Structure formats: structure tokens, C-alpha cells
Amino acid sequence: MSELFQAGGLPDKRQVAASFSRAADSYDSVAALQRKVGGELLARLPASLAPRRWLDLGCGTGYFSRALGQRFAAADGVALDIAEGMLRHARPLGGAQQFIAGDAERLPLRSASCDLLFSSLALQWCADFSAVLGEARRVLRPGGVLAFSSLCVGTLQELRDSWQAVDGLVHVNRFRHFDDYQRLCATSGLQLLALERQAEVLHFPDLRSLTHELKALGAHNLNPGRPGGLTGRARILALVEAYERFRQPLGLPATYQVVYGILRKEK
Ligand SMILES: C[S@@+](CC[C@H](N)C(=O)[O-])C[C@H]1O[C@@H](n2cnc3c(N)ncnc32)[C@H](O)[C@@H]1O
């Protein structure tokens, strides 16, 4: 059993790729949180870092590939994603020298070939985080840095609790515990420079706005065992009612528990 799920197996990578490919054209219009988190991650990069080659792991539409390309203008940049549709969107916008399809758990890159692995809000989709860390260790040059942001348990908790009240089924992607990030980073063979968790709360006027945004991001529920078929009107109304219990003056809250990690390969 993967560490990502308590029960129910792994997300199907082909489904993850297909879902993000479908979302490539709508993603940027709803990615305010993703922009903020990636910006925070950029700000956390060691000031002295001057990579000869960087990799944007799970580059999506390539917003941060372009930011990395500007910041490290003299370096060779590689943008990688599992979703071909995202790469088709990102490639013409530039920022990196290469845009390649690949999986963070099995990187199609040579050992000791990068000085920076940057990954913002992608690794929560990888069930085997220790494989990701192992690949980072393999691909980084001595002294190289892995900087990632990801999501942990507590993310979309309001939606999860509301579904729980309606039918007790899993309708929200499962997330690793922060303790698991700590344990896996500590035993990765990489030097852990920083690991912290920060809550971000978005507000929506109504439930439909939240579920519409998740769909536009390509981040709606892909867990195996999710209920198939159409969701009945009565169940939706029950869900709306359950979620209304969380309403705050700013609207319906949706909490994201964001994890930031900075690791370095020993020299
Ligand atoms: C929420 S988007 C983030 C995109 C970009 N980093 C940003 O911050 O805007 C997550 C991206 O991770 C990619 N992804 C998911 N699983 C992956 C994997 N195993 N290997 C590589 N990319 C993956 C998805 O296709 C998607 O483009």
C-alpha cells in the first residue's frame, strides 16, 4: 500500500495526465493559489544558488519555468510534466530549453545532471514520494537543491467533511500526512534544510464556484473507488447544505495545507 492512501489504492497516472491535459487551457485563469505558492517557493531558494541546469518538475502551463528561465538566464532549463496537454500549452511560451514528458517517480534524465529541481504543487500527485526523493538524489549533482511545494492532510477538509456527512464516501483526493513528508525527507539521503507547513484559505461565494475551479485546474477527484456516474440532485443539495455550515463572512472556505521543502545533496 502506498503511503499516499490509507485505503483504496493509487491514482491512475494515465487519468492524472488526461485530467491535467484537459485542463491546460483553463488552468491559468483559476491558478491564483498556485501562483502564490510557486512564488513563495521561488523566494525560498537559497540566495547563493546559481544552477547550470535546472528542472521544473510538474511544470504544468510553464509559468514557473518562465520565472526560472528569467532568474537563471545563463542556465539550461528543462520543463517536465506527465501531461502532454500541459506541455503543448507550455512549449510555445518558452522559458526552458527543453519540454519533456515524464514521471517524477522515474525521471528520464541522467544521473548527476541538474543543480536545481524545482517542483510546485505537483508532487501531491505522486503516491510514492520516497521514489521521487530517490530520483531527486540520483539526478542532482553534489551540492544541488530540491525545492518543492506540495499539499498535505487537511487540504480541502471542508469538502471532505461535507461529503462525509452526506454519504460517508471518499470524494476528495487523499493527501499525505505532514509527518510522512518529515519522515521521508529525513530518510531520503538528502540534507533537509527546511520543511514547513502553511495553511492557505480561499473563499468562494458558493459550492459550485469551488467545484468549478477544481475542475478547471484538473484537480478534481481521481481516487479509485470514487463514486461513478451522475451525482443525484438530492445528494448535491445535501452537500450544499453540509458545506454551508462552514460559511464565514468572506464566503465558503476551502483550506489548503501547503508544505514547503528545501533539500540539498551533499557535496
Ligand atoms: C497543480 S499543477 C502545477 C503546475 C505548475 N507547477 C504550477 O505551479 O503552476 C500539477 C502538475 O503536475 C503534473 N503531474 C502530476 N503527476 C505528475 C508526475 N507523476 N510526474 C510529473 N508531473 C506530474 C500535472 O500534470 C500538472 O501539470
Binding site membership of 58 for ligand 1 (Cβ less than 6 Å): yes
In a domain, 36, yes or no: yes
User: Where do runs of H (alpha helix) occur along 28-152?
Assistant: 32-43, 63-71, 84-90, 129-139
Binding site membership of 104 for ligand 1 (Cβ less than 6 Å): yes
**Residue nearest atom 26 of ligand 1, based on CA coordinates:** 60
Binding site membership of 59 for ligand 1 (Cβ less than 6 Å): yes
Binding site membership of 81 for ligand 1 (Cβ less than 6 Å): yes
Quick one: which atom of ligand 1 is closest to the CA of 104? 20
In a domain, 78, yes or no: yes
In a domain, 251, yes or no: no
Q: How many domains does the chain have?
A: 1
Q: Which residue has the cell 459550485?
A: 208
Quick one: which atom of ligand 1 is closest to the CA of 60? 27
Residue 223: predicted pLDDT: 52
Q: Where are the beta strands (DSSP E) in 82-223?
A: 98-101, 114-120, 140-151, 191-204
- Give the 3-state secondary structure of residue 32: helix
In a domain, 113, yes or no: yes
Binding site membership of 20 for ligand 1 (Cβ less than 6 Å): yes
Question: Distance (Å, rounded) from C-alpha 135 to C-alpha 49?
Answer: 20
Of the candidate ranges 11-25, 61-75, 123-137, 140-154, the one whose mean pLDDT is the lowest: 11-25
**Cβ 257 vs Cβ 199: under 8 Å:** yes
138: domain CATH number? 3.40.50.150
Residue 219: predicted pLDDT: 83
Binding site membership of 151 for ligand 1 (Cβ less than 6 Å): no
In a domain, 190, yes or no: yes
In a domain, 197, yes or no: yes
Residue 140 Cα to ligand 1 midpoint, Å, equals 20
**Cβ 135 vs Cβ 113: under 8 Å:** no
Query: What is the Cβ-side half-sphere exposure of residue 184, based on CA atoms within 13 angstroms?
Result: 20
Binding site membership of 64 for ligand 1 (Cβ less than 6 Å): yes
In a domain, 196, yes or no: yes
Look up the domain containing 113 and give its range: 14-155+173-201+258-264
Per residue in 20-79, pLDDT (tens digit) is: 999 999 999 999 999 999 999 999 999 999 999 999 999 999 999 999 999 999 999 999
- How far is C-alpha 226 from the geometric centre of its chain's CA atoms? 20
In a domain, 34, yes or no: yes
Per residue in 165-223, pLDDT (tens digit) is: 888 877 778 899 999 999 999 999 999 999 999 999 999 999 999 999 999 998 876 55
DSSP 30: G
pLDDT confidence of 233, banded at 50, 70, 90?
confident
| pTM across the whole model | 0.93
Q: Which residue has the cell 540520483?
A: 138
Question: Distance (Å, rounded) from C-alpha 220 to C-alpha 211?
Answer: 8
The more confident residue out of 231 and 236 is: 236
- How far is C-alpha 5 from the geometric centre of its chain's CA atoms? 16
